[in-house]
Structures are given as structure tokens and as C-alpha cells.
Structure 1
Amino acid sequence: MASNFSQINKTVKAVLKTLSPRNRDILSRRFGLIKGKKETLESIGASYKITRERVRQIEEATLKQLAKNISALPDAQFHIETVKNIIDDHQGVIKESGLFGIATGSEKETAQNSGLVFILTLSNKLERFSENDTYHAFWALSGEHSKGFKAMTESLISTLARHNNVMSKEELLSLARKTNVSGFDSQPLNENHVNLALNVSKKIDKNIFNEIGLAAWPEIQPKGVRDKAYLVLKKENQPRHFSDIARLINASRFDNRRANVQTVHNELIKDNRFILVGRGMYALSDWGYKAGTVKDVLVDILRNAQKPMPKAQLVAKVKDMRMVKENTILLNLQDTDIFHKQEDGTYKLKEL
């Protein structure tokens, strides 16, 4: 596909040749047609000793002038129609960098890509949406396509927010369909729609385990060691030693920063999402584990039971919550200030 756009710079020169040197320079710098990097109204105005508003007026008037003649240039029309076909193949909406990658072979800011944006802007046949806090820059076949895409994306975001948990793509599709979320291109909601939303929206994303959620969630974009530890431990779904958690963080390659074992241990201690359940072994409080010593766990079990319990049953329940030896549990039960052993061998709290 890139070869189809190899002459884009030549087409741009043909479009600009009718302009005065100043107007040609202003448009070239505003669109980044020379180096690929756009210049601000202020910097251009300073070089010509005119106001930024005057630069904006010149840009607007010159674009209107050129737009009237763009249909008479076969090369320009070829590029425009080719891009329309590309966007049509992508449900009618495409991220701008993705369009660049398909059209020119590079997603970076290049003169060739800037030239493509310039030609498409003059055509008025496609809708461009600049990057903002919600979306990356993207193109749409029409205002109807962009409106439908945004509505669909907002519905997917609402579905995630309502369930407040990361999920697989299949789970998201299933939940969204149950609330009548539909596609925007006359097609039922499908995997391609979700992929497009993930690609263009800044509000939803997926983590390294391909789980989808809101971009602001730490399980999607972990901010530090604690969030990374939570994510890998949740994925493991079983208690792990803090040194193993550090190893799992590094193996997951969240970023270029390497997790130090002692740092990981210190962060686990500070965060109530993690519960110490054995010597250096940590579990997630999400799994039902509670903070406290073995004695605290015994007290909690008996208090919730509201009746005496056999030793074997107590040991089994503690082992469900802590990775400790049976002797450690029995040693704690010998605290007669807290526990009372009855004649039948069962235990109760002294307070009950």
C-alpha cells in the first residue's frame, strides 16, 4: 500500500505551487509539510512579525482557496479515494497513526504523512478528529460514522464502569450485548468494534494479560510496584512468596524498570490488599483473607461460629486462611486467657 502514496509529496507541491511564497510557507509549516513537525501559530507569526490571529486567518483563507481546485488534480483524487477505501475496510473509522501505517508504511510524524493529512483536509470528503483527552486522532467516513463510533465506545465504557472489574474481550462483548449495545456500521456488536474502541479511545485499554478495563484502573495501567504485585498475584490465583512475586513482576515486563525483591516486600507490607499468610507468603484480601496473627484468626473463627468447635475443625479452618504448621495453631490455642477447652475436647472463646 505504501507504494501508492510514494508520490504524495509531489502532489502536495503541485497543490501549493499556485500560492504566494509567504502563504505557501505558512501552510507548509502549519501542516509540517517540510519536516513532518507542525509549527504553532505563535512561532510562525513571530517569524513574519504578525499576530497569531493573522496567521490563522491566512491559513483558513488559503485552505478555502485550495479546496476549490483540489478536485481538478487526478493525483490528489487518487490519494483521497484510496484513503476512503482504507477507512471503509476498517468499519468506517480508523486511528490516524494506523492510517499512516497502512498508507505510507510509517506511523511517525513524517513529511509524507503530513502531506496526506493536508490533501485529505482539502478534500472535505472525510471527517478528521484531533487528539484530545478522550480519543487519539482519528478519521471517519462521515459525521454519522464518528457519532455512532463514539456512542458505541461510551456504551462499552459504561459497561466496564458498571461491572467495575477487568474482563476478557468475550466477557465484555457478552455483557454489552445484554444491554443492547450495538455496532455503528449496520453490524451487530463484534470483536472488530471492541478492537477499534481499544485502539482509538484513551478511556479503555487492556493490560499485559489481555484483560480489558478502564484505562485509569491500576489493573490496566499499574502505577507502581504495589499495583504490579496485585496484578501478578491475582493472575496466579494463589499465595506466593514475596521473592516469587518480584520475579513474576520482572517476568511480566510491565516496563523497563526492574523490581527489587526487598522493595516488593516493603510495598506488600504497606498495602492492605495483601495479607501475610505464612513465612513471607502473601495472598490477596480479595480472596477472603483477613489481616492478623494466627491467634486473631482463631478468635475470628470462633466468634463467627458462635459455638464450640472441635480441634480438627479449627485447625482445618485456620489452614484455609494461613500457611502454618499444625503445631503453631495448637500452640496458640493454649492461651487460656482467650480460649477455653471444654470437657468434650472442643474449644470456645473464654468470653462466650
Structure 2
Amino acid sequence: MDISLLMVHPSEPIRKVKRLKRTRREATSYMKTHPITNTVASLVKALTPRNRDILSRRFGLKKGKKETLESIGKSYGITRERVRQIEESTLAQLVKTSQGTTDLEKYAGMAKDIIARSGGIIKEKDLFREFGGSSEENVVNASLAFVLRLNKELVRVQENDRLHSFWALNKEHAGSFVETVNSVTHLLSKQKKILSQNDFHNFVKASDLPGVGNQTINDKHIQLCLNISKELDKNIFDEVGLVSWPEIKPSGVKDKAYLVLKREDSPKHFSEISKLINTAGFSGKKANVQTVHNELIKDNRFVLVGRGIYALSEWGYKPGTVKDVLVDILKKSSKPLSRTAILAKVMNNRIVKENTILLNLQDSRTFVKNNDGTYTLREA
């Protein structure tokens, strides 16, 4: 829970929700009587036919889907660069002529309210969903993006390899958010392990990283990082990590097996691991039992500890036969070990019957049974 909620009157959160609902009702009512598509049509009406067509196609104002500079250039027999120049100059012209337009200011104000409620930053698709009820490409969302491009305050950051496109209240918010995302990503990469959502939030807040707009980083900022960054994500168990980690984006059966076995925190038979994969909710086809077994055999992250039973090597299990385990135990021991002590140590590393261990101890070429009943390794 956000501790700030404990510092206000109990009815304050309820009043905030009521104000939010009232604001949304007013916005919905305004959009019905003043459709944003009509507002945009009026704005571009005075443009030359070619410039109007280029802007409409670049922003998807007619069909909801944007066209590339190249496709528009080909239709007019001009270069991509020339299309870009026309787009920029026409937008600059509209910025000047549209100032003071009531509908324009009203819609920009609605968007500002949505962005402010989100923490000063919002993923573009989330803005579209809040504004028009859908995050998909359509003429309403295209019209909103166009209207906001004419606003001098709001800033849109274009999608790139690391971030989804997003909107900010101003340049300062946009710049500080990018820095925050980079810092959070770097912090998690040094942590080198996945975290639950709650632990992730606490971990980042404890680091004292700067937040958005000179604020101390808070839960909203952290959630925005997770929503907008392409390098951070959650797995199907709602755990957070880097997209490059197999625990977050498992690339095949072996990664899925690792993830489910790690969550179980105990050795499992390969058939049980297969069931766990298929019931976990991973996308893609069902895991085949034999395929799972084959992948476990080949991957060093897994150790065979019994008949078809596998554990994770990171739990301290080492590969090898029961005899190999016995040799390792006696090598590490500073004194001869009793049968009881040996059995206990082996059973901690392997899921086998006592008789199997005792049969291996009878190998006189490797093990020596002393007069007092203890065992040591035979010297080479």
C-alpha cells in the first residue's frame, strides 16, 4: 500500500475516485457533442489539397493507419525527405493558426489530465485507451495524436529499441523519465535475479533513484518503467526481470522447465516437470514428456538425482553417479565417516534407496571399510 494513503482523511481516496469519474463523464459528454474528428477536419480544411492529404496520411486521420514517408512520396513522385519537409512546415503553420481554438485546448486539457493522473508520463497506447476507450489504431486515436502535436507543452517520445512511444507533460518530465528507466534497468541487471512485483518496487525505492520531474521515485514511476521499457517485463508468474533473462522470456522447453522447477523449489520427476510446464500457462504448444526429458539431460542447470528425478545445480546438487557422490563426500571429509553419516550425506544429494548406496560402498577398489566400521577412500 502507498503509505501516503494513510496520511489523509479516510474519505479522501473516495472523493478522488468520484472526481475522476465526474471528469471522465464530462469528457465523454464533450466528445459526443464535439467529435475530435470534426475538430481536426476543421483545422486542416484551410490547407492546400496536397498538404492536407500528406498530413492525413502521415497521421492516419482518414483510416486510422499511418503511412510511411516512402509510400506517400511514391504517390506524389517526390522524395521521402521532401514529404518530411512538407509535413514539418505544415505542422508549424497549423501550430500558429490553431492557437486559441477552444476545441483544441479542450482536448489537449483532457490529455494533460490523463497524463498528470498517470504520474506525468503515460504510454501512448494507455493514453489512447483512457481517451477513446481503445488502444488500437483508429481515427479517434490518430486525431488525438495529431491534436497533441500542435500543443507546445506536451512531449511525445518516439518508439525506439529500448522504449515504447510515450507522452510527457513537458520536456523535463520526458528527459528525467528516460534517465529513470535507464537507472532502474541498470540496477536490476546488477541484481541478476527476478523479483516479485512487490519486491521489485521495494528494491527500486530503497535505491534512492531520482524519479520523474525532480520527485523521489515512487510506485507510479516504477510501474511506468515496467510498462514503457522494452528491456523490463514480467513473466507468467508476475515476476519482474530483464527481457533477456530466460526466467522472463523462456525461449524453449528447457527454460520453461527451469522456471517451473525453480518455483517448486524441490526435485521433480521429468514427467511431473512436463505437467508443471503445461499447466503453468505458457504460450505455444504443449510440452512433450520425452522432449522435456531430453532437454533436462543436455542442460547443465539440471542434475539427475534419482530415477528420472531432476534438481537444479544451483541448489548445490552436483552431476554424477552415486559412486561419484560417495567419492566427493569422502574426499571432502577430514576424517573417516560412519555408514550412518555417509547415508545421510548421500540422501541429501540423491533420491536413491539405502541399498543402492551400500552396494556402491562395497567397491573395494575405491572404498576402504575400517575395523571400526567407518569408511575412507582407498589411496591411489
TM bracket, shorter-chain basis:
over 0.9
Work out the percentage of aligned pairs sharing the same amino acid: 54
SS in structure 2 opposite 1:71?
A: coil
Indicate whether 1:12 and 2:21 are aligned. Answer: no
Whole-angstrom CA distance in 2 between matches of 1:32 and 1:257: 37
CA-CA distance at 1:56 after TM superposition = 1.3
Q: Output the amino acid matched with 1:87.
A: I
Whole-angstrom CA distance in 1 between matches of 2:79 and 2:324: 72
Indicate whether 1:79 and 2:144 are aligned. Answer: no
Match of 1:349 in 2: 377
CA-CA distance at 1:194 after TM superposition = 1.5
Indicate whether 1:171 and 2:199 are aligned. Answer: yes
For structure 2, the residue ranges without an aligned partner over 5 or more in a row are: 1-23
Whole-angstrom CA distance in 2 between matches of 1:260 and 1:25: 54
Q: Output the amino acid matched with 2:365.
A: D
1:129 aligned to 147, 150, 157, which one?
Answer: 157
Indicate whether 1:147 and 2:145 are aligned. Answer: no
- Work out whether residues 267 and 312 of structure 2, in 8 Å CA contact, stay in contact via their aligned partners in 1: yes
SS in structure 2 opposite 1:144?
A: helix
Q: Output the amino acid matched with 1:297.
A: V
- Work out whether residues 165 and 213 of structure 1, in 8 Å CA contact, stay in contact via their aligned partners in 2: yes
CA-CA distance at 1:165 after TM superposition = 0.8
* 1:50-199 correspondence to structure 2 within 5 Å: 50-185=78-213, 187-199=215-227
1:207 aligned to 212, 227, 235, which one?
Answer: 235
CA-CA distance at 1:148 after TM superposition = 1.6
Whole-angstrom CA distance in 2 between matches of 1:318 and 1:301: 8
Which stretch of structure 1 is more off in the superposition, 1-10 or 97-106? 1-10
1:32 aligned to 28, 52, 60, which one?
Answer: 60
SS in structure 2 opposite 1:72?
A: coil
- Work out whether residues 169 and 194 of structure 1, in 8 Å CA contact, stay in contact via their aligned partners in 2: no
CA-CA distance at 1:125 after TM superposition = 1.9
CA-CA distance at 1:257 after TM superposition = 2.0
Indicate whether 1:299 and 2:327 are aligned. Answer: yes
Whole-angstrom CA distance in 2 between matches of 1:35 and 1:226: 44
CA-CA distance at 1:187 after TM superposition = 4.2
Which stretch of structure 1 is more off in the superposition, 271-280 or 204-213? 204-213
Whole-angstrom CA distance in 2 between matches of 1:94 and 1:330: 65
Match of 1:227 in 2: 255
- Work out whether residues 208 and 217 of structure 2, in 8 Å CA contact, stay in contact via their aligned partners in 1: no
1:329 aligned to 350, 353, 357, which one?
Answer: 357
CA-CA distance at 1:171 after TM superposition = 2.7
Using CA pairs under 8 Å that are at least 6 residues apart, name the structure with larger relative contact order, 1 or 2.
Answer: 1
- Work out whether residues 261 and 267 of structure 2, in 8 Å CA contact, stay in contact via their aligned partners in 1: yes
1:314 aligned to 316, 330, 342, which one?
Answer: 342
Q: Output the amino acid matched with 2:368.
A: H
CA-CA distance at 1:229 after TM superposition = 0.5
Task: Indicate the RMSD between aligned Cα atoms, in angstroms.
Answer: 1.4
CA-CA distance at 1:76 after TM superposition = 1.3
Which stretch of structure 1 is more off in the superposition, 4-13 or 49-58? 4-13
Q: Output the amino acid matched with 1:198.
A: L
Match of 2:74 in 1: 46
Residues 105-158 of structure 1: per-residue CA shift (max 9 Å, x gap): 111111111111001001122000111011000000011111221222222112
CA spacing shift, 1:317–1:139, aligned 2, 3 Å: same
Whole-angstrom CA distance in 2 between matches of 1:99 and 1:174: 27
SS in structure 2 opposite 1:113?
A: helix
